[in-house]
Structure 1
Amino acid sequence: MQLLEFQKQMFDEVLGDDCLVIASKGIGLHSLLFLLMKAFNNGDNLILIIGSSLEEQEYLIDCFKEDDDSRNSDRLPKKVNSDVSANERIKLYEKGGILFVTSRILVVDMLVKRIPFNRISGIIVCKAHSIVDSCQEAFILRLFRMNNKSGFIKAVSQNPVAFNQGFARLDRVMRLLFVRFVYLWPRFHAAITSSFDARMKPDVIEVRLVMSEEMKTIQFALMDLISMCLKEMAKCNVSLLTDVDGMTAENAISPGFDKMLRNQFDPVWHQLSAKTKRLINDLKLLRQLLSLLTSEDCVSFYLTLKAIKQNVRLDTSTSDWFFWEPTQVLFSSAKRRLFKVSDEEEKAELELNPKWISFCEMIEEIKQESLFLGNEVDVIVVVENDITTRRLKDVLDKGAKNLLNELYLKNIRTVTTTPRIDDAKRKVPKKKPIPKDENTVTLTQIVKNFDRKEELFKKKESFNIHYHVLNEGPLHLERLLKLYKPKYFILYDPNMQVVRQLEVYQALVCAPEKSKVYFFLYEGSAEEQKYLTSLRKEKLAFETLIKEKASMVVPSERDGKSEHHPDLIRGNPNEAATSSRQAGGQLSRNQVIQQRIIVDMREFRSVLPSIIHKRGIDIDPITIEIGDYVLTPETCVERKSVSDLIGSLNSGRLYSQTQVMTRHYKKSILLIEFDQNKSFNFKGKYWGLGRRLEAGEHDVVAKLLLLTLHFPQLRIVWSPSPYFSAEIFEHLKQNKEQPDSEKAITVIEEQLPVERSEDKYDIATKDFLLSIPGVNLYNVYAIMNRANSIAELCEKTEEDLVSIIGNKQNAETIYKFFHQDLVSCCVNDQLMINDEVKNKRFSKKVKK
């Protein structure tokens, strides 16, 4: 594989030390991963790669297949996920090599000792910026360092902005990764700059488009509305906002603004007023309109605005921005892009999208240049989404003017103003046809011209256009570059990472020839500001990291290879290891009982098992049919997150789970666990920025009440975070017997324990008795204790029932239920029905 000078230097740094590498987006970090994997790829090493996505795994495996030295199928990296059985995983671990392992699978294999720790040569962590204290990757690294002191740990990240969120984020991530060194590679690094300057740079043609006056007016109106919404939000939530300085219009158009809002308002979502929640939704809508202004045509933009206006209902939930002054400017300017008003008449005059015209011109220019080359020409067009891709294909097929006219005629009834009811009697003038421009080309002429050009380009090889959507990720662009090796690029929607990728591609592949890049950008637009903001944020993030690295104090035992590393000590180190209540704290080691909890395999998708293990409690991961956690032989816990709880209540799954759990365990607990980053409040849909529960929907609290009425022995624990849940589990296990894994697996096949007073009887009989009038939860056990069967209960007199129940009214109701004549009861019911029918008929006659 060809490498640039700075990539070789980066590889040398990473190869020698356990470290964290933070690089700019698009400078080829996946090449570094490939070189690391190739360096350790032999039969003696077992290298585990965690945190990688499926797309990254496929890309790196393809790189090995293309490499001459690694084409042997035995040396190719392998993916280990839930599809691979436990026995197959054991064989893969013993064989060695490079394995992409799912975090949940690797945690379980480490806990049950399927993977030998001394066999692991090292772990490579992808997306290191997402490492937090409670994540599965941090749990894996902690288990690895507790049992292996010689293996290496290397981590990479391409998101420097994430390391500036929170207090001392870089130091905390390095501590969780057990690394002592951090290497920063920004785009302005001297080695990167010199590597690009030493080679031929691409020929960049910056197409700066000028916005029309109406587009500028619309943009100013939208920015004014966004600023006014932010001011109203700050005014309504002075005591709740933690970052008032970040609530600016410049940050509002950046991609991470929604995440910033969510981080600030999620913990206090239940305290927000209805007005604040409307403003949050309004900001999202206005930002979408600002993006549509430069990406869509005038017809589509006006249709979107008109649909928003028609769906407005004048009530308490109406957004405030509809009544502000810039809103009128917004709607009127959007309409003027379609019509020109003269002498109180509207004349259709559609405003063409400048990007469409420039795109067609650039394609024609590339085609003219390719005629002289005589080879196959591939052009890569970078767009924001799939909608833009379809639009550009239609523009090339039909032409910009014809496509716009087609969109207008297709939606002419929606676009034109609907006549009033008062004017319905007036004579409606005939619609004048749209004046035809002399330079307008008909659709037939376009098809003939297109066919003629197609035949010409078939003779001169072919001309291909490949679209890269930014949502598909940077690796999709890398595949296109490897497959087609193009020389022409059109950045229809600017993106910082794509620009860096094209710089690396030019330096490695195209040099000494020049590739040609057409860079589209609206001058003075929000699109330009968004691109410049992304550059500025990354630069500021690296400058902050450089200062933090210079002043950071890293302990020598940070790598976790010492015997007494504080982060590897399980339990609370501040608590005494022994109790002073028993013999002055002089407990022997044999008297200390190691706590243990049985955890269902499916629960490793959550962070709770990791926190439980860190508190010093051993974990037995097995597949159990009843519950999620078995704390003691008598205690079982079913854990539910808020979203899972609502889904289980609506589907009825929680009822059946509770029914089975209460039958087989004396102490059944329902643990309702909230997200620690969100509000600990049970009011509607608190956990997102979407709608709340409507009045007609079933209330979750009411369903929980019904559940507790059906199962009075069920206990509910409300937990604000996983840390609180782990602490509760530790308290519930104090001075209790440890659970047995074999019994937990086979508990569903066993009979109910005899010592439980409420489970000495048949559950079906109990449910049948509760359906009898007069029998309730307060007297059902008294009846079952004094009567051996239903037949014996029927033979009881009314006085016997009073003595059993202690309530004369309920005893009389039960006695009548068993001894009332069925024939007379049916006759009486039929007479009552006949009387009702007669009364209804009589009432109808009277009405007539």
Structure 2
Amino acid sequence: MLTYQKQIWDTLLEQESGLVLCGKGMDTIEIVKQLVVKYSQESKFVFVFGCPENAKYKIIWECADCGIEFLPKDIEKAVGKKERDQAYAANNVYFHSPGILAKDFLLETIDPTKIEGIIIYNAESILRDPSLQTCIAYYKSHHPKGFIKAFSERPAEFTELSSVMDLLWIRFVYFSPRFEETVKNSINPCKIQIVHISIHPERASPKKKHSDKFVPVVSPEFARTFDFLSLLHKQFISEYGRQLNVSPIDSLSLPRRILEQRCTTDTHQEILSGLMFFRNAFFALIHYPPEAFYEFLDSHRPNPLNPQIWAGFAEVNPLYEAAKKYSTDSLPSPKLQYIVNILENIPKNKRVLILAEGTATVAMIAQYLSSFIPATDSKDVAGSVHSILDVDDEEPLLDPEVFGVLTAPIIMLQEMHAQADIFDTFDPDFVIFWDVTLLSVRRLEIYNTRASKNVTGYALCYDEANEMTAMETSIENENQIFTKLISKLSTISKTPLEPFVVTNREIVVDDREFRSAMPLALLKAGFKITPSVITVGDYVLTKDIVIERKAYSDLVQSLKSGRLLQQIQRMHNYYKSPMLMLEFGDVDQFNAISDRDKNGSVMAKITTIIRVFPNLRIIWGRNANECAKTLLLLSRGKDQPSLEMAQEMGNDGSNINDDSKAVRFLSVIPFLSKEHVSLICHRCKNIRELLSLPKDELMTILGPQIGIKLFSLLHSQAKNSLK
């Protein structure tokens, strides 16, 4: 380990639990690896979450090299309950899924007090993973002395540091920014030469020209397309940038999460969508072949079905016209030409790693280089595109008389962020960066220091695209984030969180609901949760009460598609007291429907549903916690739910069975889903009974639209055939 990593290691051994927050690309996986080795040697029962696949193999090999008898095992995927039970019975380190472990906790398949602790790599995922939140909360509530050691290299995700630490049940945080003295002294900066490429060579500053005076041939159509895209972006930021407090550079470099936090209205969301379009458009223009860029642009062409906030600017039509002309351009990208120029000056026995972001870019580079590398030498080219370079095309892509033939060193092409240990894997002497990113440069610095090498890097940058400026801005933004986070430390509570008090009040929760915040809210409210696969409703509170939960965004879509009507119909058919629970996020206003739905269509549809199903009750909650508390109040004095009954509801064993001709007949009707067929099976013994149902009853069972369609179909064809 490097000096700063050893310092983190020593600190974690002193602390029972803690969050380590490093700068991007600072190789925290090395510390995770050493922790897994230590706990494996000590036969500790520990779970590891969020570890990338290639890192798992690397950690297991490290344990094997250390002579550990019982190696860490991966039970994250494709492992059944029997295999998990066997794993839980042994003291070992396991790579696991928090979603599966959370359900095993709730089903009491495993005793949390037997688990020594949990290691979380990419700890920022807890903000987006309700299963991880539930898993950690249950574990710490039942085993307060168990440790949580969490790691992240994305400080931008921790702007609400106190909230994240509460979710992780952690009260200690260790900051390790790149500018910190120990970190700075631990790393030997490698030599990276910035290759300034001008889209308009005639305007380029003499200071930014390459030292060997090489000037690539730039396609006029590429330059025109870039100019129109830049002008459109500039006009967009001039019009809307102030609303999200972004400059042109910020709009292309700030982490999306920071921008999302500035969005408080629907208009802000539209502006953010526009910013993401420009990011993707610049990326596509710089990375993709001309025809692929035009395909991307064409897929975002404004139309009534695909409105764009930037559609009204005068530069839109010229941009599309320029891009269409550029799509037929055969002149290679200036960066491709520069790569060849650099390779020509590298000794043949050296190893060159070319890194680019995106598989399409890697393929484009490979295809271009195959025109220079003789077929007999293609064995010297390795990486993810080896097979592309082995292809002997009937027609060469480029004219060798114009561009020459390259006698290549050993060239390795790889997608930039495909794996964290990419430099260790290829052991390069030279690295060519198609993109210059903070993550890739820092990974090279770490590798260069650890391997005690003197790797030379070349960073290809378009001056007009501000690629270097964007990276420098990323560094400044990260430093500012760390400074703010460090200043917040004094305001963070040191008081340990109180374990949840779980009562005997049971609730059956559908497995799919563990992707929402409700299971954690139910735990906080005191419910004893039983996860299961149920086909009617999302929550079964008693033998008579079933609840379908809808978040606001899901509610609108479900109303439009008619799915909500079908779900309510199913609850109505199987339970005496069906309920619809409308959950609003903390950032949403509680009266979101009346505020956002100006034409009243959502409220009108809900009113119609209430009139069709008068026994339906609607629960309104400002957030998941309020919804959970409401369910607890509703459950008081009521009987407990039956898991067996909840599982049986919707799985009917009526006379119309899966093997019958009647079910096969119903199954081939295009507009009938499995749920529709199941409802029919529950109501009717045979086709004749189905035919005898009046139109109104079919509409009640299946919903108005499907009921009318089936009634018309049956009475125009099937009824006559059965006479």
| Cα shift readout 1:823-848 (whole Å, capped 9, x = no counterpart) | xxx9xxxxxxxxxxxxxxxxxxxxxx
Please tell me whether residue 249 in structure 1 is matched to residue 234 in structure 2.
no
**Alignment CA distance shift 1:448-1:33 (3 Å):** same
Within 5 Å, which residues of 2 pair with 1:261-280? 262-265=260-263, 268-269=265-266, 272=267
Please tell me whether residue 548 in structure 1 is matched to residue 543 in structure 2.
no
Equivalent residue in structure 2 for 1:568, among 475, 499, 518: 499
Q: Could you say which residue in structure 1 is the equivalent of 2:45?
A: 46
Equivalent residue in structure 1 for 2:447, among 486, 501, 505: 505
Please tell me whether residue 596 in structure 1 is matched to residue 587 in structure 2.
no
SS of 1:205's equivalent?
strand
Equivalent residue in structure 1 for 2:9, among 8, 11, 23: 11
Please tell me whether residue 123 in structure 1 is matched to residue 118 in structure 2.
yes
Measure the CA separation in 1 of the matches of 2:429 and 2:10. Answer: 31
Checking the alignment, whether the CA contact within 8 Å between 1:49 and 1:101 is kept in structure 2 is: yes
Measure the CA separation in 2 of the matches of 1:738 and 1:43. Answer: 44
Q: Could you say which residue in structure 1 is the equivalent of 2:195?
A: 207
Q: Could you say which residue in structure 2 is the equivalent of 1:191?
A: 182
Displacement after TM superposition at 1:208 (Å): 1.9
**Alignment CA distance shift 1:143-1:659 (3 Å):** same
Checking the alignment, whether the CA contact within 8 Å between 1:43 and 1:95 is kept in structure 2 is: no
Displacement after TM superposition at 1:650 (Å): 8.2
Checking the alignment, whether the CA contact within 8 Å between 1:225 and 1:321 is kept in structure 2 is: no
Q: Could you say which residue in structure 1 is the equivalent of 2:240?
A: 233
Please tell me whether residue 396 in structure 1 is matched to residue 369 in structure 2.
yes
Equivalent residue in structure 1 for 2:470, among 530, 533, 537: 530
Q: Could you say which residue in structure 2 is the equivalent of 1:622?
A: 532
Q: Which runs of 5+ in 1 are unaligned?
A: 236-240, 339-347, 401-440, 559-564, 572-592, 688-692, 694-698, 753-761, 778-825, 827-848
Question: In structure 2, what residue type is equivalent to 1:726?
Answer: A
Question: In structure 2, what residue type is equivalent to 1:211?
Answer: I
Displacement after TM superposition at 1:40 (Å): 0.8
Displacement after TM superposition at 1:485 (Å): 1.6
| Cα shift readout 1:578-619 (whole Å, capped 9, x = no counterpart) | xxxxxxxxxxxxxxx843222233322222011011012222
| Cα shift readout 1:243-294 (whole Å, capped 9, x = no counterpart) | x5x232222111535x5554444x633xx4xxx8876655444444444554
Displacement after TM superposition at 1:468 (Å): 2.2
Question: In structure 1, what residue type is equivalent to 2:694?
Answer: S
Q: Could you say which residue in structure 1 is the equivalent of 2:359?
A: 386
SS of 1:40's equivalent?
helix
**Alignment CA distance shift 1:304-1:220 (3 Å):** same
Checking the alignment, whether the CA contact within 8 Å between 2:294 and 2:324 is kept in structure 1 is: no
Checking the alignment, whether the CA contact within 8 Å between 1:382 and 1:490 is kept in structure 2 is: yes
The percentage of aligned residue pairs carrying the same residue is: 24
**Alignment CA distance shift 1:24-1:740 (3 Å):** same
**Alignment CA distance shift 1:178-1:682 (3 Å):** closer
**Alignment CA distance shift 1:303-1:604 (3 Å):** closer
Checking the alignment, whether the CA contact within 8 Å between 1:639 and 1:672 is kept in structure 2 is: yes
Question: In structure 2, what residue type is equivalent to 1:123?
Answer: I
Displacement after TM superposition at 1:502 (Å): 0.8
Q: Could you say which residue in structure 1 is the equivalent of 2:36?
A: 37
Displacement after TM superposition at 1:745 (Å): 4.2
SS of 2:253's equivalent?
coil
Measure the CA separation in 1 of the matches of 2:247 and 2:401. Answer: 48
Measure the CA separation in 2 of the matches of 1:442 and 1:39. Answer: 54
Displacement after TM superposition at 1:359 (Å): 1.0
Q: Could you say which residue in structure 2 is the equivalent of 1:23?
A: 22
Measure the CA separation in 1 of the matches of 2:140 and 2:695. Answer: 63
Q: Which runs of 5+ in 2 are unaligned?
A: 204-219, 374-395, 655-681, 701-719
Measure the CA separation in 2 of the matches of 1:612 and 1:442. Answer: 62
Checking the alignment, whether the CA contact within 8 Å between 1:383 and 1:493 is kept in structure 2 is: yes
Checking the alignment, whether the CA contact within 8 Å between 2:432 and 2:458 is kept in structure 1 is: yes
Q: Could you say which residue in structure 2 is the equivalent of 1:137?
A: 132
Measure the CA separation in 2 of the matches of 1:772 and 1:253. Answer: 57
**Alignment CA distance shift 1:105-1:295 (3 Å):** closer
Q: Could you say which residue in structure 2 is the equivalent of 1:467?
A: 414
Checking the alignment, whether the CA contact within 8 Å between 2:542 and 2:641 is kept in structure 1 is: yes
Q: Could you say which residue in structure 2 is the equivalent of 1:725?
A: 627
**Alignment CA distance shift 1:261-1:770 (3 Å):** farther
Measure the CA separation in 1 of the matches of 2:574 and 2:224. Answer: 70
Q: TM-score, normalised by structure 2?
A: 0.74
Q: Could you say which residue in structure 2 is the equivalent of 1:739?
A: 641
Checking the alignment, whether the CA contact within 8 Å between 2:195 and 2:461 is kept in structure 1 is: yes
Please tell me whether residue 612 in structure 1 is matched to residue 619 in structure 2.
no
Checking the alignment, whether the CA contact within 8 Å between 1:65 and 1:71 is kept in structure 2 is: no
| Cα shift readout 1:64-111 (whole Å, capped 9, x = no counterpart) | 225544566732232234x32333322211202111221121112222
Measure the CA separation in 2 of the matches of 1:63 and 1:314. Answer: 52
| Cα shift readout 1:453-481 (whole Å, capped 9, x = no counterpart) | 67xx7xxxx723222244x3x42xx1x43
| Cα shift readout 1:107-160 (whole Å, capped 9, x = no counterpart) | 122222221222111111222234349933333222222222332221111111
| Cα shift readout 1:736-792 (whole Å, capped 9, x = no counterpart) | 22323344445668999xxxxxxxxx9549977761799999xxxxxxxxxxxxxxx
Please tell me whether residue 148 in structure 1 is matched to residue 90 in structure 2.
no
How many residue pairs get aligned? The number is 627
Measure the CA separation in 1 of the matches of 2:236 and 2:478. Answer: 27
**Alignment CA distance shift 1:320-1:88 (3 Å):** closer
Question: In structure 2, what residue type is equivalent to 1:247?
Answer: V
SS of 1:633's equivalent?
coil
Checking the alignment, whether the CA contact within 8 Å between 1:769 and 1:775 is kept in structure 2 is: no
Q: Could you say which residue in structure 2 is the equivalent of 1:521?
A: 461
Equivalent residue in structure 1 for 2:335, among 355, 360, 372: 355
**Alignment CA distance shift 1:171-1:647 (3 Å):** closer
Checking the alignment, whether the CA contact within 8 Å between 1:204 and 1:518 is kept in structure 2 is: yes
Measure the CA separation in 1 of the matches of 2:191 and 2:463. Answer: 20
Moved more, 616-625 or 672-681: 672-681
